Structure 1
Amino acid sequence: MSKVVLVTGASSGIGKSIATFLKEKGYTVYGTSRNPKNLENFSFQLITLDVLKVETINKAVDLIIEKEGKLDVLVNNAGMGITGPVEDTPTDEMRAVFNTNLFGAIDVMKAVLPQMRKQKSGTIINVTSIAGYMGLPFRAVYSASKGALELVTEATSMEVKNFGIKVVNVAPGDFATNIAAGRYHTPVFENSAYKENYQASLDLMDAHVDHGMDPIEMAKKVYEIINYKNPKIHYKVGDFMQKFSIVLKRILPDKMYQKLLMNHYKL
């Protein structure tokens, strides 16, 4: 029997690429979207799930288990971006990002874990970000939400190990997707003390996404992880310098590393 996979946030970008690739590899794949009725031309089944609404999470998971009798893999991919100076960004928008990127992902894990414990097997792959390993200027809240999910992954992996469940995260760098369009952008306020630096950083972020890697690289890595007998806890997928930046953060003095980041963002 093929493995049954649930991929959240599968209507576009990295999630769609992962779900499509796994379907081509013979897996039974359920992708999710908040409004799947408006979407067409998907090779996998697309079902309704909003990570901010627990009832839709439970309904989607119950549907899969009822139809397939099991759930082998969760790819926790649904998320949102946010940019802006901390001082200028509305706190409610910050909370919304944490509700999606952290608590939404946790609620999906909580929904699938009872079935995985019953099976005594399962793999949960949380999609985080290389940005979660460092505090990036004008992306503080996004970095913090993804960094928090990294730590939740570490802790949960220890809690469920006795049940035969593996919990892993994959941190992508910049990929050529429509994520920039889906971000909450704090406006560049005319009277903001950060106006020039923030606008320059926005332009740089958009350029990075436009010239990012093909999302198929993330799909291939997820496929590899599913097939590892003993996967690691942390994986990074990005260009050499993006991955190397994490190594540099470990070995360089804080101020030196900060200077490198500020030079990169032309601050």
Structure 2
Amino acid sequence: MSKVVLITGGSSGIGKSIGEFLLEKGFVVYGTSRNPERYSESKLNLLALDVSNTQTITKAVQTIIDKEGRLDVLVNNAGAGITGPIEEIPDEEIKRNFETNFFGPINVIKAVLPQMRKQKSGLIINITSIAGYMGLPYRGVYSASKGALELITEAFRMEIKDFNIEMTNIAPGDFATNIAAGRYHAPVQEQSPYKTPYGNTLKLMDAHVDSGKDPLLMAKAVYKVISTKNPKVHYKVGEFMQKFSIVLKRILPDKVYEKMLMKHYKL
């Protein structure tokens, strides 16, 4: 029997790549979008879902269960970028980012767990970020929201072990997607004390995304995890130096690592 997979944020970028790859491998795949009617060309069954709206989550999950009778894999991929000096990012934008990157995935997990518990099986993959392992300048809110999802996964997976449900994180580095166009940018203000360093860092971040890896690598990583009997707690996918930066953070003194980051961002 083909496994039934739900991928949030499946209309573009990493989510779309994962969905199309899993389709080729014979899975039954449902993607989600806040506005699925905009993607009539999509190869996936796209359902309307906004991770910050629990009613849409419940409806989408129930639609899959009604049609397929089961739900085997959740890929919590929907997310949003955000940049800016923390001092200058409006509170509502910080809260909105956590609604999408942290509370949203938790609400989707809560919606699928009863069915997975009923089946006595299931796999939940949370797409986080290598940025979630460190506080990055002018990406602090994003780092915090993804880091929170990494940590809560560690706790969550222990709580659901008794039900034969697995949970893991996959943290991507920079990938060539449209995330830079879709994220919230605090404006570079003319009178801001952060104008020059933030402006320069913003250009550097956009360049990293533009020259990023092919999202197909993430699709293959997700497929490998689905095919693994006992998934690890954490996976990282990206450039060697991006993954190695996590190792360096563990072994270097804090201030040395901080200086390394500041040199990288030319601060």
Q: Which TM-score applies when normalising by structure 1?
A: 0.99
**Which whole-Å CA distance do the structure 2 matches of 1:59 and 1:87 have between them?**
38
Deviations 1:153-211 (A, max 9, x none): 10100000010000000000000000000100000001100000000000000000000
Three-state SS of the structure 1 residue aligned to 2:88 is coil
Structure 1 residue ranges without an equivalent (≥5)? none
**Which whole-Å CA distance do the structure 2 matches of 1:38 and 1:86 have between them?**
33
**Which whole-Å CA distance do the structure 2 matches of 1:160 and 1:120 have between them?**
10
**Which whole-Å CA distance do the structure 1 matches of 2:3 and 2:192 have between them?**
52
Task: Check if 1:195 corresponds to 2:195.
Answer: yes
> Identity over aligned residues, as a percent?
70
1:209 equivalent in structure 2: 209
Deviations 1:31-71 (A, max 9, x none): 00000012122222111100011000000000000000000
1:35 equivalent in structure 2: 35
Three-state SS of the structure 2 residue aligned to 1:87 is helix
Task: Check if 1:250 corresponds to 2:250.
Answer: yes
1:156 equivalent in structure 2: 156
Q: Which TM-score applies when normalising by structure 2?
A: 0.99
**Which whole-Å CA distance do the structure 2 matches of 1:218 and 1:149 have between them?**
18
| CA RMSD between the two structures | 0.4
2:147 equivalent in structure 1: 147
Q: How does 1:115-194 map to 2 (within 5 A)?
A: 115-194=115-194
Please identify runs of 4+ aligned residues in structure 1 that moved more than 3 A.
none
Three-state SS of the structure 2 residue aligned to 1:114 is helix
1:87 equivalent in structure 2: 87
Give, as a single letter, the amino acid of the residue that structure 1 aligns with 2:166.
K
- The alignment of Structure 1 onto Structure 2 pairs a total of residues equal to 267
Give, as a single letter, the amino acid of the residue that structure 1 aligns with 2:89.
T
Post-superposition shift, 1:224? Answer: 0.3
**Which whole-Å CA distance do the structure 1 matches of 2:37 and 2:231 have between them?**
36
Post-superposition shift, 1:16? Answer: 0.4
**Which whole-Å CA distance do the structure 2 matches of 1:197 and 1:70 have between them?**
50
Task: Check if 1:97 corresponds to 2:97.
Answer: yes
**Which whole-Å CA distance do the structure 1 matches of 2:264 and 2:114 have between them?**
45
Post-superposition shift, 1:28? Answer: 0.1
